Amino acid sequence: MSLPGIPVAIRRRYGPVARIVTIACGVIIAASAYLPWAYGSDALDNVTYVGGPSFIQFIALGMGLVLPALVVCSIRWPAGFGRTRVGWIRGARALATGLLIIFVVIAGAISVQLGGTININYGAWVGLAAALIGFVATRFLVQEGAPTVNRLKTPGWLSILAIAVVMLVMLFVAYYALDQSNPGTFVTFIVYTGVGVAVLLRTGALGWLTAATGAHRRVMLLAAFLVAFLFPFTQGGSDANMSIAAQVLVFAATAMGLNIVVGLAGLLDLGYIAFLGSGAFVAAMLSGTAMATFDVHPPFIVTMLLSGCVAATLGLVIGSPTLRVSGDYLAIITLAFGEIFRLSMNNLDGSDGPDLTHGSRGISDTGDLNLFGFDFGATHTIAGIEIGRFANYYFILLIWLAIVILIFSRLNNSRIGRGWVAIREDEKAAEAMGVNVFGLKLLAFASGAFLAGVAGSIKAHVDISVTPDSYVFLQSSFLLAAVVLGGMGTVLGVLIGATLLQLMPEKLRFVNEYRLMFFGLLLVVMMRFRPEGIIASERRQLEFHDEDEELAERLDDNLGPSTGAVAVEGASR
């Protein structure tokens, strides 16, 4: 991206000067970390010291030094190193843009937390000015070709080492983000993380990492599960943080079920939260507590299956008469179904209907689980570290999420998954090729509902209570946004989207009345700059960026030149 109105000839002429200016700006940004950014210690993580950078300032220092490094790598060297310069300019531009956004966010956070821009100290102004000049200077750099980092051939041990490092970084990011009570620090850290991902994407390093994880899939899955398993041991027994983590896993597991319906089959479901709620109410009614409405108290494994089957039955009931429509009509019907479910749960109070849910009061005591003698409500000590109630539920949710991911991956790579993709791409063409469109749609609805119902049965015990007002349309919209923003049809993308959309409201309670506005702005920004989602499949990237010849060639190499036809043909066999 170049500044409008700047001819290529002028950019080529002033390119060397722009390099020098960009390098100088990066050095100044790094030096600004040793200067005070605010007059009060309540802003961010106390950025008031001279010569004593806080952690937030250390990250700015590191990014400031990376900017000159990217520019130096882009220089046409006489040796062979210059052959890999392609893509460094893209990374420098992304980093310069990110640094400008970061310092704007920092200035805004200091102003909000301390009461005005007068509380911004000179160090932040120096960093902001350098970031602005660097942003302009990088637009004069000439970019030729496309990133080649993603095509580098590396030994297997290096790929495995990179996977391990990335997983450790992800563990630290999750630990640090959850541990922040200062909202300004949390927002700034999230922006830092986003900028880092953008730089990796623009340089092609993220593509190389994706290829490495694809080549060592088992190593990646093992490392990811190990990191997630170790996360509770980094929280020092904090129930507050583990409560948020448990809710993130519930949200992620539910979003993965919706990913089958929306991401694979392309069915717009705006009432999906009803399936989660149905599973929660079934588990609550069978919990065996004083508030439970049934005297039957089966083992929890049986309760989970019953919750999933009830939710799947609701999916079949709502899907059978409605899945013959599509698009806006299907969205309206599923939206109505979600509202009907909530109103029905409110009416099952003993006066308007049988007393199954206690009406709007809900079932206020679902008790804690006790599986094979393990009490999930008690605190346990493992390796000298206290594991509290929410950490116990975190582990069982982690196991269920792993099962959901396995189910989704198997379905996605099966004949059924290819049929769903064919229906999503062109329903008429899929039907003409012999795909059982209605049957596969119904299966998508039922399977997605089953996964949500099981997640709801665990959520009922995590929350201790189940009320109808917890399952409203806004929750369905957040689930759908997690799938769309993360990347429809992907596993990692949906997990990232679900984590962000569940974590950010918890950490931004100080702007409670503006949270929906920020949510809407996030949607607009994503639809404008990355409509395929944060982590998108190559097929969906090509749909939104059909002019990208390199992406089209890579997709042809991986999937064959007639991807759509192959998917439809494979599904019809």
User: By C-alpha distance, which of 13, 569, 470 is closest to 251?
Assistant: 470
**Does residue 379 lie in a domain region?**
no
More confident residue, 566 or 58: 58
* 493, two tokens: 């993308």
On whether residue 1 sits in a domain, the answer given is: no
Residues 259 and 176 in one domain: no
Backbone conformation region of residue 241, classed left if phi is above 0, alpha if psi is from -120 to 50, else beta: alpha
Q: How far apart are CA 409 and CA 412, in angstroms?
A: 5
Enumerate helices (H) and strands (E) in the chain, giving the number of each.
Answer: 22, 4
419 in any annotated domain:
yes
Is the Cβ–Cβ distance between 251 and 319 less than 8 Å?
no
Q: Is the model's pLDDT at 552 over the cut of 90?
A: no
Does 121 lie in the same domain as 179?
A: yes
**What H or E segment, with its residue span, contains residue 41?**
none
Backbone conformation region of residue 49, classed left if phi is above 0, alpha if psi is from -120 to 50, else beta: beta
Q: Look at residue 382 and tell me if it is in a domain.
A: no
Which residues, in sequence order, are bridge partners of residue 371? 374
Q: Which residues of 445-465 are buried (b: 16+ CB within 10 A; e: fewer)?
A: bbbbbbbbbbbbbbbbbbbbe
pLDDT value of residue 104: 93
Residues 6+ apart with CB under 8 A from 99: 29, 60, 63, 64, 67, 131, 134, 135, 195
* Same-domain pairing of 283 and 135: no
Residue 508: which CATH number? 1.10.3470
Based on the structure, what is the number of domains in the chain? 2
Determine the pLDDT at residue 566.
38
pLDDT number for residue 78: 47
pLDDT in tens, 244-296: 888 888 988 998 888 888 888 888 888 889 999 999 999 999 888 888 878 88
Question: Per-residue confidence at 26, pLDDT binned at 50, 70, 90?
Answer: very high
Q: Which of 171, 199, 226 is the last residue of a domain?
A: 226
Residues 189 and 59 both lie in one domain: yes
Give the pair of three-digit tokens for residue 331: 């969205």
Share of the chain above pLDDT 90, in %: 17
The angle, 0 to 180 degrees and rounded to 10, between the axes of the packed helices 415-425 and 437-463 is 100
Listed residue (148, 138, 162) closest to 82, CA to CA: 148
- Whether 462 and 408 map to the same domain: the answer is yes
pTM strictly above 0.95: no
> What pLDDT does residue 132 have?
94
Residue 531 lies in a domain: yes
Does residue 430 share a domain with residue 326? yes
| pLDDT over threshold 90, residue 238 | no
Phi-psi region of 289 (alpha: psi -120 to 50; beta: other; left: phi over 0): beta
Question: In the structure, what pLDDT confidence band is assigned to residue 431 with cuts at 50, 70 and 90?
Answer: confident
169/186 same-domain check: yes
Q: Cβ contacts of residue 325 below 8 Å, gap of 6+?
A: 333
The better pLDDT of the pair 426, 459 is held by 459
**522 versus 308: which is more confidently predicted?**
308
Q: Are 323 and 449 in contact (CB under 8 A)?
A: no
Query: CA-CA distances (angstroms) from residue 86 to 204, 205, 426?
Result: 9, 12, 37
Residue 230 token pair: 């170790």
Q: Does 8 or 455 have the greater pLDDT score?
A: 455
Q: Which stretches does DSSP call E strand in 98-241?
A: none
Residue with tokens 């759509």: 564
Distance CA 335, CA 326 (A): 13
End-to-end CA, the chain:
46
- Flag whether 347 is in a domain: yes
How high is the pLDDT of residue 126?
A: 94
* Structure confidence at residue 541 (pLDDT): 62
pLDDT of residue 557: 47
In this predicted structure, what is the pLDDT of residue 152? 63
Give pLDDT tens digits for 92-139: 888 999 999 999 999 998 998 888 889 889 999 999 999 999 999 988
Within this chain, do residues 358 and 281 fall inside the same structural domain, yes or no?
Answer: yes
CA atoms within 13 A on the CB side of 311: 36
The whole-number pLDDT of residue 97 equals: 92
- 372-389 per-position pLDDT tens digit: 778 888 887 777 777 888
DSSP single-letter state for residue 381: E
Q: Provide mean pLDDT across the span 437-460.
A: 90
Domain of residue 322, residue span: 235-367+388-572
Q: Residue 189: in which H helix or E strand, if any?
A: helix 183-203
Contact by Cβ (8 Å): 32, 50:
no
Q: Looking at residues 423-452, what average pLDDT do you find?
A: 87
* The predicted structure's pLDDT at residue 151: 61
- Whether 23 and 63 map to the same domain: the answer is yes
Q: Is residue 376 in a domain? A: no
More confident position, 84 or 215: 215
User: Do 549 and 506 sit in the same domain of this protein?
Assistant: yes
Within this chain, do residues 193 and 250 fall inside the same structural domain, yes or no?
no
Residue of 252, 208, 192 whose CA lies nearest to 58: 192
Give me the mean pLDDT over the 141-150 stretch.
59
177, 195, 226 — which closes off a domain?
226
Average pLDDT score over the chain: 81
Of the three residues 164, 195, 226, the one that is the final residue of a domain is 226
Phi, psi (deg, nearest 5) at residue 380: -120, 155
Helix (H) or strand (E) holding 224, with range, is: helix 217-230
Q: Does residue 373 belong to any structural domain of this protein?
A: no
Q: Are 402 and 527 members of one domain? A: yes
Lowest mean pLDDT of 23-27, 314-318, 322-326, 566-570, name the range: 566-570
